[in-house]
Structure 1
Amino acid sequence: MNRIRLNISLLFILCAMLLIPLQSFVYSETNTSDDTVVYYIPVEQTVERGLAAFMQRSFQSAADEGADYIVLEIHTPGGAVDAAGEIARLMQNTDIPIIAFVTKEAISAGAYIALNADEIVMAPGTTMGAAGVIDGAGNAAEEKAQSYWLAEMRAAAELNDRDPLYALAMADRSIEIPDLGVSDEEFLTLTPSEAIEVGYAEAIASNRAELIEYLGLEQVSERDMQVSFAEQIARFVTHPVVIPILLSIGSLGLVLELYSPGFGVPGFMGLLALGLFFFGHLFAGFAGWESILLFGIGFLLIMIEIFIPGFGIFGVLGIGAVIGGMLLASFSMSSMVISIFIAVILTAIGTVFIFRYFGNRGPWKKLILTDSTSSEKGYISNHTRAELLEMEGETLTPLRPSGSAVFSGERLDVVSEGGYIEQGRKIQVVYTSGSRIVVREVKKNS
């Protein structure tokens, strides 16, 4: 009973987590004074789709509050090109002046975001640049991706009348800039003084107060946009590295749950991992409820298939629906296909490893039912009366085809080979198996 209550509680927790996106996290504070409203938006950690969703919410909040300035406090090592592009389009489509305030580093995609701002202000000791595009393995991206990224960097620089040469040098190591000591073997990275020298920064400010002083503002009402807990989860679980890990844990947990009695730890871990996956993508705006519904239908079809002999239509449709639900929830079809492929490989390897090395020992032995009720272990459901073979007796009741007979004074339930045998006839045992005793009538010789 306690186990059932625990599982029900865990299920409610999972459902509540999936319903969090229905809540509103928008910062709301009405400005009733004549102060200049400055919105501070943090651009921190890795640039990914979760950050883009947070930026979209923040820009909408700034517009609703009638903000006069948006300050992006940038401290990021870079991230996904597509996410950075979405943030850049968001910046280009707003009428509110945007200040990029580099508080630590604006590397790679961070530099690209800064270049899309109307003005750039850097804190002492910060850097901006090194925007070479690389693939998931850490190698230089293919020529097509490089060409696209260089065009984006050039466009971002030209957007605010900055010399595109330096933006290109940030992304192309073959460009040499002797005046800054940059050879043709490294990406350009600018310090605050170098950025001002080449027109890539308008000022140096140590803190917000100096930034406000540079902007020439006196009466200021400052707003701080905070990343909500739900958005922090969404940013984490939508990271390209985390997605295949979550899918692997989810699928591995559900596979192992099929081999354990009841619903236990593996099943809960699997559902939790898949719940986090859909929650993050739902909150970030990539997935809709239709993707979760499709995944749920696929999961139910697979469960139905488990109880039907052979691999039939339910299994095929279930697997297709599960994969379809994941693809609908993704921000990139190709990335999700790769993630699913990685998850399948890791699940197969993990399943083989666990059953081979931990199946019969350790804590796993408590989760998997490995005992069997074999006759070698003394489990006998029905004793086979082999000693009755070829023994003759007499029917006590008619056999139609079952009835009773007596053998050496012992009354037994028997069944004929198929025909009717009258009461009081001589019979002989021809077969025994457990409690089943098969007889045939003994014909008298004429």
Structure 2
Amino acid sequence: MNRHPLWCALLLLLLGALSGGAMAAAPVAVLTVDGAIGPASADYLIRGLARAEEEKAQLVVVRMDTPGGLDTSMRDIIKAILASPVPVATYVTPGGARAASAGTYILYASHVAAMTPGTNLGAATPVQIGGMPGSPPERPDTPAKPGKPDDAKEAEKPAPGSDALTKKQINDASAYIRGLAQLRGRNAEWAEQAVREAVSLSAEEALKQKVIDYVASDVGDLLKQLDGKTLKTASAAEVKLQTVGAEVIEHLPDWRARLLAVITNPSVALILMMIGVYGLLLEFSNPGTGIGGVVGGICLILALYALQLLPVNYAGMALILLGLLLMVGEVFMPSFGVLGIGGIAAFVVGSVILIDTEVPGFGIPMVLIVGLALASALLIFGILGMALKARRRSVVSGDAGLVGSLVPVLAVHENDPHGGWVQLQGEKWQIASRAPLQPGQRVRVVARQGLQLDVEAADDQAP
């Protein structure tokens, strides 16, 4: 009879241990995207999702504030979200933030879509990338043809995106976001409207129209609302969230993500390419130092790596390289400015068309382009000016440096007073003169005959 209390105590301890283990919920990983969606953002989010899987996280919260970004990077992120075994909650925060363009697609692709009050999403019309842009729609203030009524005038105006290429892009984007909306059970009609008409919604309106799932004041509030919810992952497995009291692990962008964000900035990539080209040319023109070759090679490789991740117009890159080569050619083959001016023009035009997209955050400022062109021009023409000055100076080496030199006679031949020796340019020369010579007499070199110098007595003769 005394054994029963002991067994009951052990049973209670075992149940307590099991319940304590069950109460220890899996952690929640938090990632942050602040700025344009690009190669750096995609790399950071994809690695963040893989790390969350390794940490056995029950949920990944992506805090987002973006004006949009590149289509390729956006699709890479969405592929990673759709294939993730860990549910993803995209949360537009803080107040005043937005999930425009590419951010709207990512929001629709996430398992949970949430926003902070005072934020907005939408304007998901794809931006022209590559190819020849279509004809712009007729301006509203364009004068109508005489005799045409107003409704006829409106009928004559082409609809936005009336050219074939723009239609293809908009239709593709509409089908893409509609598929995401149907996958997550969200408002597909508004999603297509956001693509075709570039409309936007506030957080409250988005919740009413079932575009998003939750409106939360902060991450803690969002986790409270998600507690107990069941979500389906890529493997069709259902994950029940236990987010109240769960450990929140925040993964900020590491050095790799920050470095990639810097070098994939089109302005930085352009500067790196210029430093690389000039460094290699300096090394080739003055071999042996090694500094120009090392620095130039590293910068050029970084620039090429960054440009292959960006939507680059290869005609623009070719014009930039041609412009740099022409400006350098002006130094080695002076053409009175023809090569230099042509190089500057090619560099400016190539820089303007280098990045083949109008996505915010991926353009090269005109101020930077003009500044780099002027700096290159000043450098090239400065070197050219120094070369011209050096060309005007008298030659101090070779035959031209010997002729006209004033030197004292070192010695005179014993049997020939018209001949002797002088020391000139570090060497001992035999001399010949029409007039007799004396040791110590100053003579002027008038010509060179092989290893012999023809001299004549100088005006300021010395005994």
Global fold match (TM > 0.5): yes
Q: Offset of 1:375 from its aligned partner?
A: 6.8
Matching residue's letter, 2:211: Y
Aligned partners of 2:68 and 2:102 also within 8 Å? yes
- Verify: 1:83 aligned to 2:73, yes or no: yes
Matching residue's letter, 1:200: V
Question: Residue 36 of structure 1 aligns to a residue in which SS?
Answer: coil
Identity of aligned residues (%): 20
Matching residue's letter, 2:218: N
Match for 1:150 among 166, 169, 174? 174
- Verify: 1:383 aligned to 2:402, yes or no: yes
Q: What is the rounded CA distance, in whole Å, between the counterparts of 2:111 and 2:174 in structure 1? A: 20
- Verify: 1:132 aligned to 2:125, yes or no: yes
Describe the shift of the 1:117–1:434 C-alpha distance in structure 2 as closer, same or farther (beyond 3 A): farther
Residues 22-46 of structure 1, C-alpha deviations (whole Å, 9 max, x = no match):
xxxxxxxxx9982231111112211
Match for 2:99 among 106, 109, 112? 106
Q: Offset of 1:66 from its aligned partner?
A: 0.5
Aligned partners of 1:73 and 1:100 also within 8 Å? yes
Describe the shift of the 1:358–1:205 C-alpha distance in structure 2 as closer, same or farther (beyond 3 A): same
Describe the shift of the 1:433–1:343 C-alpha distance in structure 2 as closer, same or farther (beyond 3 A): same
Question: Residue 106 of structure 2 aligns to a residue in which SS?
Answer: helix
Question: Residue 201 of structure 1 aligns to a residue in which SS?
Answer: coil
Aligned partners of 2:419 and 2:430 also within 8 Å? no
Q: Offset of 1:408 from its aligned partner?
A: 4.1
Residues 51-84 of structure 1, C-alpha deviations (whole Å, 9 max, x = no match):
1111121111000000101111111111000110
Q: What is the rounded CA distance, in whole Å, between the counterparts of 1:148 and 1:406 in structure 2? A: 101
Q: What is the rounded CA distance, in whole Å, between the counterparts of 2:84 and 2:108 in structure 1? A: 15
Q: Offset of 1:107 from its aligned partner?
A: 0.5
Q: What is the rounded CA distance, in whole Å, between the counterparts of 1:113 and 1:100 in structure 2? A: 8
Aligned partners of 1:244 and 1:339 also within 8 Å? no
Note the 1:297-446 alignment, pairs <5 A. 330-331=308-309, 335=312, 337-338=314-315, 340-344=317-321, 347=324, 348-349=343-344, 357-358=378-379, 372=390, 376=394, 378-379=396-397, 383-384=402-403, 408-410=418-420, 433=448, 435-436=450-451
Match for 1:200 among 203, 206, 211? 211
Q: What is the rounded CA distance, in whole Å, between the counterparts of 2:65 and 2:374 in structure 1? A: 41
Q: What is the rounded CA distance, in whole Å, between the counterparts of 2:274 and 2:119 in structure 1? A: 39
Residues 105-136 of structure 1, C-alpha deviations (whole Å, 9 max, x = no match):
10000111010011111100000111111136
Describe the shift of the 1:90–1:413 C-alpha distance in structure 2 as closer, same or farther (beyond 3 A): same
Q: Which residue of 1 aligns with 2:183?
A: 159
Describe the shift of the 1:245–1:33 C-alpha distance in structure 2 as closer, same or farther (beyond 3 A): farther
Q: What is the rounded CA distance, in whole Å, between the counterparts of 1:215 and 1:84 in structure 2? A: 26
Match for 1:45 among 7, 28, 35? 35
Describe the shift of the 1:37–1:154 C-alpha distance in structure 2 as closer, same or farther (beyond 3 A): same
Larger radius of gyration: 2
- Verify: 1:122 aligned to 2:138, yes or no: no
- Verify: 1:61 aligned to 2:51, yes or no: yes
Q: What is the rounded CA distance, in whole Å, between the counterparts of 2:103 and 2:63 in structure 1? A: 11
Q: Which residue of 2 aligns with 1:211?
A: 222
Q: What is the rounded CA distance, in whole Å, between the counterparts of 1:269 and 1:38 in structure 2? A: 43
Q: What is the rounded CA distance, in whole Å, between the counterparts of 1:360 and 1:406 in structure 2? A: 56
Question: Residue 223 of structure 1 aligns to a residue in which SS?
Answer: strand
- Verify: 1:222 aligned to 2:248, yes or no: yes
Note the 1:277-288 alignment, pairs <5 A. 277=303
Aligned partners of 1:384 and 1:434 also within 8 Å? no
Task: Mark the runs of 5 or more structure 2 residues left unpaired by the alignment.
Answer: 1-20, 137-160, 228-242, 325-342, 348-371, 405-412, 422-428, 432-446, 454-463
Matching residue's letter, 2:177: M
Q: What is the rounded CA distance, in whole Å, between the counterparts of 1:152 and 1:164 in structure 2? A: 10
Aligned partners of 1:48 and 1:84 also within 8 Å? yes
Matching residue's letter, 1:81: D
Q: CA RMSD in A?
A: 4.2
Question: Residue 195 of structure 1 aligns to a residue in which SS?
Answer: helix
Describe the shift of the 1:43–1:373 C-alpha distance in structure 2 as closer, same or farther (beyond 3 A): closer
Q: Offset of 1:437 from its aligned partner?
A: 5.9
How many residues get paired?
311
Q: What is the rounded CA distance, in whole Å, between the counterparts of 1:143 and 1:130 in structure 2? A: 17
Q: What is the rounded CA distance, in whole Å, between the counterparts of 1:112 and 1:148 in structure 2? A: 13
Question: Residue 43 of structure 1 aligns to a residue in which SS?
Answer: strand
Aligned partners of 1:247 and 1:343 also within 8 Å? no
Question: Residue 110 of structure 2 aligns to a residue in which SS?
Answer: coil
Aligned partners of 2:396 and 2:402 also within 8 Å? no
Q: What is the rounded CA distance, in whole Å, between the counterparts of 1:72 and 1:340 in structure 2? A: 35
Q: What is the rounded CA distance, in whole Å, between the counterparts of 1:355 and 1:107 in structure 2? A: 38
Aligned partners of 2:270 and 2:303 also within 8 Å? no
Describe the shift of the 1:242–1:133 C-alpha distance in structure 2 as closer, same or farther (beyond 3 A): farther
Q: What is the rounded CA distance, in whole Å, between the counterparts of 2:22 and 2:450 in structure 1? A: 90
Match for 1:243 among 261, 269, 286? 269
Question: Residue 71 of structure 1 aligns to a residue in which SS?
Answer: strand
Note the 1:252-291 alignment, pairs <5 A. 252-255=278-281, 270-271=296-297, 273-274=299-300, 276-277=302-303
Q: Offset of 1:145 from its aligned partner?
A: 2.6
